[in-house]
């Protein structure tokens, strides 16, 4: 067990070691990643045995079935994790990318480069494979990581951390940049360490993420709700609309990018709704419809609460609207700024929707379920941000970096560029070559 004082010392030390990790070149960091994959495979039986302890306890304590399922770490999960680690290793280095390069004056060169954020605090749920993913993303991006996993996965998480530490022993940066906290009190202790932790990334329920946001001065990266909407415009391919709506609702309804609200233009409602109902009936989707909807198909009468409900289930709210403006207003008022989609053949309407809707992800003629780091091609995903500051939408490695300005001169002083005979600046942008070594 780690107590409050110990955890502070450990995190301060991780912060120190992070500076070393930040100076490792990509080959070193990638070698560390590959060593982790190899060690986890080597320690497979140890890991499965530790996981059995957690699974047995969860069964004995009669924890909910979905939680017990997420808790399992078997050979399939191990294999998937190791594939992902090796994929992260071959991704482009997110560090030292030159974002801007400008000659301020002769011999005075300004560059903005990407650097690690520093120390990331992560509190996450029961899935042990999430631990592996998080540690590896932080390693690739040169960040220290303070982890607090679910109590029900403690034996597995300990075994995973032990294995990772063994893998990192031969490397100069070692594993001191990983801090594994085990108690609930440690979470509260983390939240006041705004001098040591640069960013908190909570993964869990909406209530949990909001609780973290309310309890700390540390910036928090995380999404709260995912109340996604689809608006079907009057000019639309009916078959396509039914297919996209069904996929958005039923392909995996328990997640934040599943559609919850369907808005249909009145000119198309009577032709579209029967087909939508037929398709959703195959998944026994419960439909909450407004008055106009209920005149076309059988449904439960929607109440005002339905427009603000994230069902996360086989359930959907449907409303008939008289114009694209009504749809935009509805989404602006009730949406959560996650993912919203328009289905239309009319490019002008699509452009209007894409411009007017202020959500992290705005789609045209495709399923809301696409808003995801893996599908976006970001490699692994840290999470999906519905905040507007720093990173928005699916967050990959670049969300774990910040930038630093480097200015190199030859004795240049500001007095030269001030006062009556001030020399003017050149301010000439120079093409960016990529990675700075």
Binders in 75-134 for a copy of itself, by CB under 8 A:
102, 104, 108, 110, 112, 115, 117-118
Q: Which stretch, 62-70, 235-243, 262-270, 284-292, contacts a copy of itself (CB under 8 A)?
A: 235-243
Interface residue with a copy of itself among 369, 380, 381, 386 (CB under 8 A) is 369
Q: Is 435 in the site for a copy of itself (CB under 8 A)?
A: no
Task: Classify 202 as helix, strand or coil.
Answer: strand
Residue 377 vs 434, nearer CB to a copy of itself:
377
Interface residue with a copy of itself among 326, 332, 346, 432 (CB under 8 A) is 332
Strands 228-232 and 199-202: unpaired
Tally of CB atoms within 10 A around 66: 10
Q: Which stretch, 129-137, 236-244, 297-305, 313-321, contacts a copy of itself (CB under 8 A)?
A: 236-244
CA–CA gap between residue 265 and residue 236 (Å, rounded): 10
Q: Which stretch, 66-74, 293-301, 303-311, 368-376, contacts a copy of itself (CB under 8 A)?
A: 368-376
Residue 160 vs 350, nearer CB to a copy of itself:
350
Residue numbers 373-402 binding a copy of itself by CB under 8 A: 375-377, 387-390, 392-394, 402
Q: Is 348 in the site for a copy of itself (CB under 8 A)?
A: no
Residue numbers 140-179 binding a copy of itself by CB under 8 A: none
Measured from the CB of residue 127, what is the shortest distance to a copy of itself in angstroms?
19
CA–CA gap between residue 42 and residue 49 (Å, rounded): 13
Q: Is 322 in the site for a copy of itself (CB under 8 A)?
A: no
Site string for a copy of itself, 22-41 (x = CB under 8 A): xx------------------
Q: Is 407 in the site for a copy of itself (CB under 8 A)?
A: yes
CA–CA gap between residue 126 and residue 54 (Å, rounded): 10
Interface residue with a copy of itself among 69, 184, 278, 404 (CB under 8 A) is 404
Taking the alpha carbons of 9, 14, 15, 16 in that order, is the dihedral positive or negative? positive
Longest CA–CA span in the chain (Å) reads 82
Nearest CA-CA partner of 379 in 29, 97, 90: 90
Rounded to the nearest 5°, which phi and psi values hold at 258?
Answer: -80, 150
Nearest CA-CA partner of 346 in 219, 432, 231: 231
CA–CA gap between residue 315 and residue 261 (Å, rounded): 9
Angle at 170 between CA 437 and CA 196, to 5 degrees: 65
Burial label, 8 (beta-carbon count in 10 A; 0-12, 13-18, 19+): middle
Q: What distances in angstroms separate CA 162 from CA 2, 154, 179, 372, one per listed residue?
A: 15, 12, 11, 30
Residue numbers 239-298 binding a copy of itself by CB under 8 A: 240, 243-244, 246-248, 251-252
Length of the chain: 437
Q: Is 234 in the site for a copy of itself (CB under 8 A)?
A: no
Q: Is 323 in the site for a copy of itself (CB under 8 A)?
A: no
Q: Which stretch, 167-175, 177-185, 293-301, 365-373, contacts a copy of itself (CB under 8 A)?
A: 365-373
Q: Is 420 in the site for a copy of itself (CB under 8 A)?
A: no
Task: Classify 86 as helix, strand or coil.
Answer: helix
Nearest CA-CA partner of 334 in 182, 228, 222: 228
Interface residue with a copy of itself among 50, 146, 160, 350 (CB under 8 A) is 350
Measured from the CB of residue 262, what is the shortest distance to a copy of itself in angstroms?
15
Site string for a copy of itself, 192-231 (x = CB under 8 A): ------xx-------------xx--x-x------------
CB within 8 Å of 355: residues ≥ 6 apart: none
């Amino acid at each position: 067990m780690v107590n409050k004082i110990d955890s502070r010392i450990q995190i301060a030390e991780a912060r120190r070691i992070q500076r070393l990790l930040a100076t490792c070149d990509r080959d070193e960091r990638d070698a560390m990643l590959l060593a982790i994959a190899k060690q986890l495979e080597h320690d497979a039986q140890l890991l499965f045995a530790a996981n059995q302890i957690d699974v047995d306890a969860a069964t004995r304590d009669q924890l909910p079935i979905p939680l017990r399922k997420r808790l399992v770490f078997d050979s399939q999960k191990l294999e998937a994790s190791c594939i992902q680690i090796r994929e992260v290793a071959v991704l482009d280095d997110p560090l030292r990318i030159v974002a801007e390069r400008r000659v301020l004056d002769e011999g005075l060169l300004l560059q903005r480069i990407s650097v690690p954020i520093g120390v990331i605090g992560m509190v996450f749920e029961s899935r042990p494979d999430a631990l592996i993913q998080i540690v590896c993303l932080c390693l690739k991006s040169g960040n220290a990581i303070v982890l607090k996993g679910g109590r029900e996965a403690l034996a597995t998480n300990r075994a995973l951390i032990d294995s990772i530490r063994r893998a990192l022993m031969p490397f100069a940066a070692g594993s001191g940049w990983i801090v594994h906290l085990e108690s609930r009190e440690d979470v509260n202790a983390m939240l006041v360490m705004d001098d040591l932790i640069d960013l908190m990334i909570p993964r869990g329920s909406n209530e949990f993420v909001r609780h973290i946001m309310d309890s700390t001065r540390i910036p928090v990266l995380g999404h709260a709700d995912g109340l996604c909407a689809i608006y079907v415009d009057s000019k639309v391919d009916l078959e396509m609309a039914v297919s996209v709506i069904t996929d958005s609702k039923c392909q995996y309804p328990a997640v934040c990018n599943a559609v919850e609200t369907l808005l249909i233009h009145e000119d198309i409602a009577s032709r579209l709704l029967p087909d939508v109902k037929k398709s959703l009936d195959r998944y026994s989707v419960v439909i909450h419809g407004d008055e106009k909807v209920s005149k076309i198909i059988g449904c439960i009468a929607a109440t005002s609460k339905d427009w603000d409900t994230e069902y996360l289930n086989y359930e959907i709210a449907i409303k008939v609207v008289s114009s694209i403006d009504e749809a935009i207003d509805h989404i602006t008022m009730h949406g959560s700024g996650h993912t919203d989609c328009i289905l239309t053949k009319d490019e002008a309407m699509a452009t209007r929707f894409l411009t007017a809707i202020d959500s992290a992800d705005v789609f045209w003629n495709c399923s809301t379920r696409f808003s995801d780091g893996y599908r976006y091609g970001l490699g692994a995903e840290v999470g999906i941000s519905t905040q507007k500051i720093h990173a928005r939408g699916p967050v990959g490695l670049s969300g774990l970096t910040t930038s630093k300005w480097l200015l190199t001169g030859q004795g240049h002083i500001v007095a030269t560029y001030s006062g009556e005979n001030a020399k003017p600046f050149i301010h000439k942008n120079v093409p960016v070559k990529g990675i700075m070594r």
